[in-house]
Amino acid sequence: MSAIAHESYAADTRPAGSRQPTGFGMVLYRAKKSFGSPTPYLMMFGIGLWLFAYWLLCEALSLPRFEKIPGPITILTDWLSASPNQGTSIYTPDYYQHIYVSCRRILVAFLLATALGVPLGLLMGWSRKVKEYTFPLFETLRPIPIMAWVPLAILMFAGYETPVIFLATLASFFATTLNTMLGVQSIDESYFRAAGCLGSRKRDVFWHVVVPGAMPYIFTGLQISIGVAWFSLVAAEMVSGDYGLGYLILSSYVNSVTVPMVIGMLTLGFVGWFSSAIVRFIGDRLMQWHVKALAMQGR
């Protein structure tokens, strides 16, 4: 049993009636608890208020600066129409092709960034020598905007697909690595001393202290990195792409069809939110001890 997870073991030995639920039961428990608080109702009120303001500015009053922007009724009518006025709706095959291409690119980029960034971040946080070798270069490249990498990516990689995936991977990689490194550095030194007193080898300390101890930071970083990957991907698709939500947004603007442009933006928001929720769900499943600790704190 790892030193980090050991503290949660005592909670599992309590009587069955006082134990916190796990797995899917934990999801239902948190959802039920959430609906018993004002939080979801305030969220719905905030969304409704935003939609009302959007409708008021663009369609009801048609104020200057807003008159060229399609309002929510116009967008919803076209979005759900079998014969949309501006060519994009839930009934057009191209709409799903754009979503599929962007999601495929994000999946590849996110998996690559995770496979590279998590091990590097663990090593940078655990080993001072590795950090001294890599951190200066890491901090030099990290502030460079993704758009500045676009010409270099086009020169390095052929076609439309690889440059876009490279740019999304690069942006996601920096967020994943940095959060993983900070996760290792946040582990209490007493865990390392306790493992040393028990005669643990370095390999055992790494797998049973470093990895589980950094896990909350890793999944926080993964939630950030998938969001960073999405907006980097869209920026890359606007410059180098033939399909994808970024390409849909830019081509709609160039062709002066504003409704598909907003539909692409809203779709991007929904798909991005769903992908972050998946990462959060996987993190909760892998860190039951951490989820139970948060639940006991009312979070």
Q: Token pair 């998996």 is at which residue?
A: 111
Domain boundaries of the chain, sorted by first residue? 3-22+90-296
Query: What integer is the mean pLDDT of 242-266?
Result: 90
Q: What is the DSSP string of 110-129?
A: HHHHHHHHHHHHHHHHH-HH
At 201, phi and psi to the nearest 5? -80, 165
Look at residue 13 in the predicted model and tell me its pLDDT.
Answer: 46
Asked if residues 226 and 275 have their Cβ atoms less than 8 Å apart, the reply is yes
171: tokens are: 């942006």
The pLDDT tens digits of the residues spanning 63-85 come to 888 888 898 999 999 999 998 88
Residue 117: both structure tokens together: 């960034």
* Separation of alpha carbons 106 and 91, rounded Å: 24
The pLDDT of residue 207 is 85
State the pTM of this model: 0.79
pLDDT at residue 4 above 50? Answer: no
Nearest Cα to Cα of residue 239 among 112, 118, 154, 120: 154
What Å distances lie between residue 146 and 173, 213, 275, CA to CA?
12, 31, 21
Please give the class, per CATH, of domain 3-22+90-296: mainly alpha
Q: What is the pLDDT of residue 256?
A: 87
Q: Is the pLDDT of residue 6 over 50?
A: no
Please, what is the average pLDDT of the chain?
83
| Residue 21: per-residue pLDDT | 54
